[in-house]
């Protein structure tokens, strides 16, 4: 698949918007905030993949594959947190876990670090045109 810098940029913009949304939701609806912060981190990593000409298949295991990619390619500790966040989000989604603002705040920082790690790999103006 060819690199898609425009698609990568669009996903990074969405990831940033999701971070802002998660921050606003954190106190009133922590479960929703967590889903949104996870999506921010996942979309940022998928932006990196698109910029490299890669895409996780739309099939079971795609989110796990994205998390593995993050660990393999991005620097820092935060990308290694994406798979844990994925599993935690699944437990929230299926009603086995509920959380409060403190856990959201903790993982919102991890999501911000993942988005920043992806953004650091692009030129200052964003993905190449």
What are the pLDDT digits (tens) for 33-80? 999 999 999 999 999 999 999 988 888 889 899 999 999 998 888 888
Q: Per-residue confidence at 128, pLDDT binned at 50, 70, 90?
A: low
Give the pLDDT of residue 22.
97
Whether residue 11 lies inside any domain: the answer is yes
Residue 59 falls inside a structural domain: yes
Residue 63 lies in a domain: yes
User: pTM (2 decimals)?
Assistant: 0.89
Give the E-state strand segments of 1-129 in sequence order. Answer: none
| Res 60: pLDDT | 85
> Which domain CATH number covers 81?
1.20.120.330
Report if residue 38 sits inside a domain: yes
Tell me if 12 is assigned to some domain.
yes
Residue 125 lies in a domain: no
For residue 36, which of 52, 49, 18, 48 has the smallest C-alpha distance? Answer: 18
Is residue 129 in some structural domain? no
The residue range of the domain holding 49 is: 5-119
Phi, psi dihedral angles at 38 (to 5 degrees): -60, -45
In a domain, residue 111? The reply is: yes
Domain count for the chain, please give it. Answer: 1
CA distance 42 to 48: 10
Please state, in angstroms and rounded to a whole number, the distance separating the CA atoms of residues 50 and 106. Answer: 28
What's the DSSP call for residue 79?
Answer: G
Q: What is the mean pLDDT of the chain?
A: 90
């Amino acid at each position: 698949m060819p690199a898609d810098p425009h698609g990568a940029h669009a996903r990074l913009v969405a990831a940033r918007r999701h971070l802002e949304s998660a921050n606003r939701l954190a106190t009133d609806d922590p479960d929703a905030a967590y889903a949104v912060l996870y999506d921010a981190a996942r979309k940022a990593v998928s932006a990196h993949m698109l910029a490299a000409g890669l895409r996780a298949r739309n099939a079971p295991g795609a989110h796990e594959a994205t998390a593995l990619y993050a660990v393999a390619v991005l620097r820092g500790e935060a990308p290694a947190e994406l798979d844990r966040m994925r599993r935690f989000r699944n437990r929230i989604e299926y009603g086995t876990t509920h959380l409060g603002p403190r856990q959201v705040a903790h993982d919102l920082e991890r999501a911000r670090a993942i988005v920043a790690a992806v953004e650091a790999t692009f030129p200052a103006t964003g993905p190449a045109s």
